Amino acid sequence: MLKRISLIVYFKTPKVLRRVRKICNVSYYHKKRRYAVVYTDENKMNDVMNRLKQLRHVRNVEQSHVNMERYEINMDVK
């Protein structure tokens, strides 16, 4: 099973989301705050980040903190 990574994409205009959808899966976006949460495969992450950064009207792309180990919830409750 492929591990999925979430990325946060900050954009200048919502029109760029059309081009972002062609590169990766858009899970959520907020027009007013101008960001989107997208998912991609772990092995394609660097390539997708570089492609997203090259798009016009994209301000910044960063990896979400939700996937990091220090933020995982321990489900083994005794």
Per-residue pLDDT tens for 2-57? 888 999 999 999 999 999 999 999 999 999 999 999 999 999 999 999 999 999 99
**Domain, as residue range, for 37:** 4-62
Residue at 20 is within a domain: yes
In a domain, 75, yes or no: no
**5 or 71, higher pLDDT:** 5
In this structure, is residue 49 part of a structural domain?
yes
β pairing state of 25-30 and 58-63: unpaired
CATH number, domain with residue 51: 3.30.70.260
Residue 12 falls inside a structural domain = yes
Task: Give dist(CA 74, CA 41) in Å, integer.
Answer: 24
77: in domain: no
Domain count of the chain? 1
Contact 40, 25 (CB under 8 A): yes
How high is the pLDDT of residue 66?
A: 77
